[in-house]
Amino acid sequence: MSLFTKKLGIDLGTANILVYVPGKGVVLNEPSVVAVSEQDNQILAVGLEAKRMIGRTPDNIIAYRPMKDGVIADYRVTEAMLRYYIEKALGKWNFFKPDVLVSVPAGVTSTERRAVIEATIKAGAKRAYVVKEPILAAIGAGILIAEASGHMIVDIGGGTTDVAVISLGGIVSSTSVKCAGDKIDHAIVDYVKKTHNLAIGDKTAEDVKIKIGSAVQVKDKEELKIIVKGRDYVSGLPRSVEMGTNEVVRALSKELNEMIKAIKDVLHETPPELASDIIDQGIIMTGGSSQLRNLTVLVQQKTGVKARLADDALYCVVKGTGIALEHLDTYKKSIISKR
């Protein structure tokens, strides 16, 4: 380990990419979006700049996400995106290739894992390590994962919900479902279309979710309202409607049930000794989409196990990458590397 080797941790998410530099903390948090020109396939913008273009681009520019459901859908674009973030995090004048640790979903196949490692090496890493997200989320949430007690992590991101029971530094049982923040946004789009005959974009749906969304019905006096603007399906003209929290709850019920089912499936597979630990410790929820109002309440209602939101839920995985990088030896059981 030379003095000059930089280290970077990357939370390679479907919705956001976060980069962590040991000693500095989270240095980057940008959307995983790339804008590509259709004619010559050139990459025009990455991250925030590219996200501003979504749904607003002229025909010849496509803004899209190279990560689909937590795995690489477009290899070339992912590599370019990684290169951009690695360079941005280290600065232009950095001549030493960094060691990079990247998160992957729990349900990742060996081919998908290899794709992440290769893309990272090609994007300029000296060594690439991959670690499963629930393990990183647990480390980042401050859980001592090496102990012989069971912890349940539910990591809900943009593309996937990862549920895992961790003990002795490894995953005992886990599942990964492709139902998370993006699916919730689509459910809101569909609901507004069916109920109000209004076309809205994903970004508007995301605003609705963040501003007034909830996982369980709320009392009338606690209900939040928002004006939703879109295009009328019949007249084709712009129109706006008012929506309340409880409407959003109805819109999301199918997606939330799928997440709850994933949690129950993992609980069913958990050895009894660990199940008793989980009753004591509760379920720890991490990831951006776990911040939906009252989601912990819903999980508790449906499973009977108390649930809590980790501090800085959005940053748990990326913080975990940073901690794992600083203590590679401690966590080497759960790390797969390639140099």
pLDDT digits (tens, 9 = 90+) for 235-262: 999 999 999 999 999 999 999 999 999 9
Q: Is the pLDDT at 293 greater than 70, yes or no?
A: yes
- Asked if 277 and 324 sit in the same domain, the reply is no
Per-residue pLDDT tens over the stretch 207-221: 999 999 999 999 988
How far, in Å, CA of 115 to CA of 294, rounded? 37
What is the DSSP-derived secondary structure letter of residue 292? S
**Burial class of residue 24 in the structure, from the number of CB atoms within 10 Å of its CB (0-12 exposed, 13-18 middle, 19+ buried):** exposed
pTM for the full predicted model: 0.86
Per-residue pLDDT tens over the stretch 46-96: 888 887 776 666 777 777 777 777 677 777 888 888 888 888 888 776 778
Residue 328, in any domain of the structure: yes
Residue 2, in any domain of the structure: no
Q: Which of 27-41, 156-170, 298-312 has the highest mean pLDDT?
A: 298-312
Residue-range definition of the domain harbouring residue 148:
143-309
- Asked if 28 and 110 sit in the same domain, the reply is yes
How far, in Å, CA of 47 to CA of 69, rounded? 18
Which residues lie closer than 8 Å to 1 by C-beta, 6 or more apart?
none
Q: Are 116 and 12 in contact (CB under 8 A)?
A: yes
Residue 171, in any domain of the structure: yes
- Asked if 296 and 187 sit in the same domain, the reply is yes
- Asked if 291 and 157 sit in the same domain, the reply is yes
Residue 88, in any domain of the structure: yes
- Asked if 201 and 289 sit in the same domain, the reply is yes
- Asked if 183 and 87 sit in the same domain, the reply is no
- Asked if 127 and 184 sit in the same domain, the reply is no
- Asked if 130 and 236 sit in the same domain, the reply is no
- Asked if 279 and 148 sit in the same domain, the reply is yes
Q: Are 27 and 9 in contact (CB under 8 A)?
A: no
Q: Please state the domain count of the chain.
A: 2
- Asked if 89 and 192 sit in the same domain, the reply is no
Q: Is the pLDDT at 202 greater than 50, yes or no?
A: yes
Confidence class of residue 3 from pLDDT cuts 50, 70 and 90?
Answer: low
Residue 132, in any domain of the structure: yes
- Asked if 108 and 194 sit in the same domain, the reply is no
Q: Are 152 and 266 in contact (CB under 8 A)?
A: yes
CATH number at residue 55: 3.30.420.40
Per-residue pLDDT tens over the stretch 43-57: 888 888 887 776 666
- Asked if 130 and 190 sit in the same domain, the reply is no
How far, in Å, CA of 145 to CA of 332, rounded? 12
The predicted structure's pLDDT at residue 86: 87
Q: In what order do the strands lie in the sheet with 151-156?
A: 170-177, 161-167, 151-156, 283-286, 307-309
CA torsion through residues 245, 246, 247, 252, sign: positive
Residue 1, in any domain of the structure: no
Residue 16, in any domain of the structure: yes
